[in-house]
Amino acid sequence: MIKYIHAVKGGFIAFVLFTIGVIYIPGRGSSPDIEIILMISTFLFAILAGFFLARLNTRYNKITELVATEDAYFLSFFNTARFLGKEFEDNIKELIDTYYIIAYDFNSNYYKSNAGVLQMFYEELEKVDIKKNIKAESVFDEMVIFLSQIEENRNKNAVLTLDKVTRGQWGILLLLGSIIIFFLFFLKTDALYSQITTVLFSTILTLIILIIRDLSSLRLNQGEDILQESGQEIFESIGKMRYYPEKHLKDGMTHIPKHVKRYRLGTHKPGAEKFEIIVVENK
């Protein structure tokens, strides 16, 4: 399995490769025609890259806010469930645990995969007999509101998550980036300043493309998926150990914080009918 290389690490690798390249690849020096092509390509790349960065950064911030809000609603939902009895609370705890395990298995596409579990929350609420407890009626209404708010956040996430850079757009960005880097090396001379600026400009351009990729895939935080720490705290809040899919640990999508001593490791494939989970000591 190929490990995900986040933008900062990818930029460093690019810097090393371009430094080696600038030593061994000869340049031709100044050329008016090539300089015009380079100027036009740089102008077009700047417009497209600026547009994608602005749009994707706004999208990333909105999704981050929606995920954190959804986690807050679930925590409030669980705390409110305590007023309807121990058995009901335990059932809700298990449903929340299942909901978040599936969410971590599928990451950004979680809203498609655990919709059935969300429906089970409504089914659990249907079992509550509010006629036997007058106080339970207001609690029941509050929990229905929480579920409605969770549904609203999920739907917004579904729309925003699909708003990615398309293959055609990637093709244009990569083509312009390749043209710029090629002509930077073509125009360089043996002068030290020329070699340094060639390496730096090429590295920065590569870093911009990688940042756009990280924003598009919702993995801006050093390659980690957006749904990590906030959701892990939900596990702890409901009295469960943190959960990490083995697959995502291997590809660098997540990591185990040092302060976590024990956690659950999911060894099953996403979408499996039965969870295969083991408890692991974090050394």
User: What's the rounded mean pLDDT across residues 168-175?
Assistant: 95
> Does residue 199 lie within any of the structural domains?
yes
Please list, in sequence order, all residues whose beta carbon lies within 8 angstroms of the beta carbon of residue 123, skipping any fewer than 6 positions away.
none
Paired tokens of 53: 């960065």
> Does residue 268 lie within any of the structural domains?
no
Task: Please say if the pLDDT value at position 227 is more than 70.
Answer: no
Number of domains making up the chain = 1
Q: What is the predicted pLDDT for the residue at 42?
A: 95
How far apart (Å, rounded) are the C-alpha atoms in residues 242 and 261?
A: 10
> Does residue 275 lie within any of the structural domains?
no
Q: What is the predicted pLDDT for the residue at 1?
A: 56
Task: Please say if the pLDDT value at position 16 is more than 80.
Answer: yes
> Does residue 233 lie within any of the structural domains?
yes
User: For tokens 């929350």, what's the residue?
Assistant: 121
Q: What is the predicted pLDDT for the residue at 28?
A: 87
User: What's the rounded mean pLDDT across residues 127-141?
Assistant: 76
How far apart (Å, rounded) are the C-alpha atoms in residues 196 and 217?
A: 32
> Does residue 201 lie within any of the structural domains?
yes
> Does residue 254 lie within any of the structural domains?
no
> Does residue 278 lie within any of the structural domains?
no
- Condensed to tens digits (0 to 9), the pLDDT of residues 153-168 reads 888 888 888 888 999 9
Comparing CA positions, the residue from 17, 16, 36 lying closest to residue 186 is 36
User: What's the rounded mean pLDDT across residues 219-234?
Assistant: 72
Split at pLDDT 50, 70, 90, the class of 224 is low
**Domain membership of residue 196 as a residue range:** 1-240
- Between strands 277-281 and 243-245, the pairing is unpaired
- Condensed to tens digits (0 to 9), the pLDDT of residues 81-102 reads 988 888 899 999 999 999 999 8
User: What's the rounded mean pLDDT across residues 216-230?
Assistant: 71
> Does residue 255 lie within any of the structural domains?
no
